[in-house]
Chains A and B, each alone.
Chain A
Amino acid sequence: MSVDNLESVILLENARLLDPAGGLDALGYVLVRDGIIAAVAAGRPEGVELPAELRRLDAGGRWLTPGLIDLHVHLREPGDEHKETVVSGAAAAAAGGFTAVVCMPNTRPFNDCAAVTLQILAAAAGAAARVYPVGSISVGLQGETLAPFGEMRRAGVRAVSDDGRPVVNSQLMRRALEYAGDHDLLVISHAEEESLSRNGAMNEGATATRLGLRGIPAVAEEIMVHRELALAEYTGRPVHIAHVSTAGSVDLIRRAKARGVKATAETAPHYFTLTEEAVGLYDTRAKMNPPLRTAADVAAIREALADGTLEVIATDHAPHSDLEKDLEFELAANGIIGLESALPLSLALVRDGLLTPLQLVARLSTNPARILGVPGGRLAVGEPADLTLIDPDYKFTFRADELKSRSRNSPFIDWEMQGKAMLTIMDGRITHQEISF
Chain B
Amino acid sequence: MSADYLFPHRHILGLGDLAAADIDFILKTAESFKEISQRSIKKVPTLRGKTVINLFLEPSTRTRLSFEIAAKRMSADTFNISGAGSSTVKGETMVDTARNLAAMNPDCIIIRHACSGSPGLLARHIDASVINAGDGAHEHPSQALLDLMTVREHKGRIEGLKVAIIGDITHSRVAHSNIIGFAKMGAEVRVAGPATLIPPGIAAMGAQHCRSVRQAVSGADVVMALRIQKERQQDPLLPSLREYAIFYGITPEVMIHAASDAIIMHPGPINRGIELDPALADGPRSVILDQVTNGVAIRMALLYLIMGGE
- Chain A positions near chain B (C-beta within 8 angstroms): 198-199, 204-215, 281-282, 323, 326-331
Q: Which has the most chain A C-beta neighbours within 10 Å: B16, B113, B117?
A: B117
A207 to B16, CA, bound (A): 13
B240 interface contact, C-beta 8 A: no
Is the beta-carbon distance between B234 and A328 smaller than 8 angstroms? no
Using known A-B contacts A198-B233, A212-B138, A282-B121, determine if residue A330 contacts B200 with beta carbons closer than 8 Å.
no
Using known A-B contacts A327-B94, A328-B121, A331-B87, determine if residue A211 contacts B116 with beta carbons closer than 8 Å.
yes
In the complex formed, the residue of A with least CB distance to B233 is A199
B278 interface contact, C-beta 8 A: no
Using known A-B contacts A205-B200, A331-B87, determine if residue A210 contacts B205 with beta carbons closer than 8 Å.
yes
Given A212-B139, A282-B120, 20 more pairs with CB closer than 8 A:
A198-B233, A206-B200, A208-B200, A209-B199, A209-B201, A209-B205, A210-B205, A211-B117, A212-B173, A213-B116, A213-B137, A215-B199, A215-B200, A282-B117, A323-B93, A326-B95, A327-B93, A327-B121, A328-B94, A328-B117
A199 to B233, CA, bound (A): 8
B202 interface contact, C-beta 8 A: yes
Determine how close the nearest CB of chain A comes to the CB of B175; give it in whole angstroms.
Answer: 10
In the complex formed, the residue of A with least CB distance to B115 is A328
Contact residues in B for A206 (Cβ distance below 8 Å): 200-201, 204-205
In the complex formed, the residue of B with least CB distance to A329 is B117
Contact residues in A for B202 (Cβ distance below 8 Å): 209
Determine how close the nearest CB of chain B comes to the CB of A195; give it in whole angstroms.
Answer: 8
Is the beta-carbon distance between A212 and B135 smaller than 8 angstroms? yes
Contact residues in B for A210 (Cβ distance below 8 Å): 16, 176, 201, 204-205
A243 to B139, CA, bound (A): 33
Is the beta-carbon distance between B121 and A207 smaller than 8 angstroms? no
Binary A-proximity of B136-160 (CB < 8 A = 1, otherwise 0) = 1111000000000000000000000
In the complex formed, the residue of A with least CB distance to B177 is A212
Is the beta-carbon distance between B115 and A330 smaller than 8 angstroms? yes
Of the four ranges (under 10, 10 to 19, 20 to 34, 35 or more), the interface on chain B belongs to 20 to 34
Determine how close the nearest CB of chain B comes to the CB of A338; give it in whole angstroms.
Answer: 24
A330 to B116, CA, bound (A): 7
Contact residues in A for B233 (Cβ distance below 8 Å): 198-199, 214
Binary A-proximity of B266-280 (CB < 8 A = 1, otherwise 0) = 000000000000000
B118 interface contact, C-beta 8 A: yes
Q: Can you name 19 A-B residue pairings with CB atoms under 8 Å?
A: A206-B205, A208-B199, A209-B176, A209-B201, A209-B205, A210-B16, A210-B204, A210-B205, A211-B116, A212-B117, A212-B135, A212-B136, A212-B137, A212-B173, A212-B176, A213-B117, A215-B199, A282-B116, A330-B116
In the complex formed, the residue of A with least CB distance to B125 is A326
Contact residues in A for B87 (Cβ distance below 8 Å): 328, 331
Contact residues in A for B135 (Cβ distance below 8 Å): 212
- Number of A-B residue pairs at CB separation under 8 A: 78
Determine how close the nearest CB of chain B comes to the CB of A285; give it in whole angstroms.
Answer: 13
B192-223 CB contacts (< 8 Å) to partner A = 199-202, 204-205
A323 to B170, CA, bound (A): 30
Contact residues in A for B173 (Cβ distance below 8 Å): 212
Contact residues in B for A211 (Cβ distance below 8 Å): 116-117, 138
Using known A-B contacts A198-B234, A328-B87, A328-B121, determine if residue A212 contacts B116 with beta carbons closer than 8 Å.
yes
Determine how close the nearest CB of chain A comes to the CB of B135; give it in whole angstroms.
Answer: 7
A408 to B142, CA, bound (A): 37
Determine how close the nearest CB of chain B comes to the CB of A341; give it in whole angstroms.
Answer: 24
Determine how close the nearest CB of chain A comes to the CB of B186; give it in whole angstroms.
Answer: 20
Is the beta-carbon distance between B116 and A204 smaller than 8 angstroms? no
In the complex formed, the residue of A with least CB distance to B93 is A327
Determine how close the nearest CB of chain B comes to the CB of A427; give it in whole angstroms.
Answer: 43
Determine how close the nearest CB of chain A comes to the CB of B145; give it in whole angstroms.
Answer: 17
Determine how close the nearest CB of chain A comes to the CB of B125; give it in whole angstroms.
Answer: 9
Is the beta-carbon distance between A329 and B115 smaller than 8 angstroms? yes
Determine how close the nearest CB of chain B comes to the CB of A419; give it in whole angstroms.
Answer: 33
Contact residues in A for B95 (Cβ distance below 8 Å): 326-327
Is the beta-carbon distance between B115 and A209 smaller than 8 angstroms? no
Using known A-B contacts A213-B116, A282-B120, A328-B118, determine if residue A204 contacts B200 with beta carbons closer than 8 Å.
yes
A188 to B115, CA, bound (A): 33
In the complex formed, the residue of A with least CB distance to B180 is A210
Q: Which has the most chain A C-beta neighbours within 10 Å: B115, B137, B139?
A: B115
A206 to B205, CA, bound (A): 8
In the complex formed, the residue of A with least CB distance to B117 is A282
Determine how close the nearest CB of chain B comes to the CB of A332; give it in whole angstroms.
Answer: 10
Contact residues in A for B120 (Cβ distance below 8 Å): 281-282
Is the beta-carbon distance between A207 and B201 smaller than 8 angstroms? yes
Q: Which has the most chain B C-beta neighbours within 10 Å: A198, A206, A210?
A: A210
A213 to B233, CA, bound (A): 13
B82-111 CB contacts (< 8 Å) to partner A = 87, 93-95
A209 to B233, CA, bound (A): 17
Determine how close the nearest CB of chain B comes to the CB of A142; give it in whole angstroms.
Answer: 19
A213 to B176, CA, bound (A): 12
Determine how close the nearest CB of chain A comes to the CB of B276; give it in whole angstroms.
Answer: 24
Contact residues in A for B136 (Cβ distance below 8 Å): 212-213, 330
A206 to B87, CA, bound (A): 25
Contact residues in B for A327 (Cβ distance below 8 Å): 93-95, 121
Binary A-proximity of B6-17 (CB < 8 A = 1, otherwise 0) = 000000000010
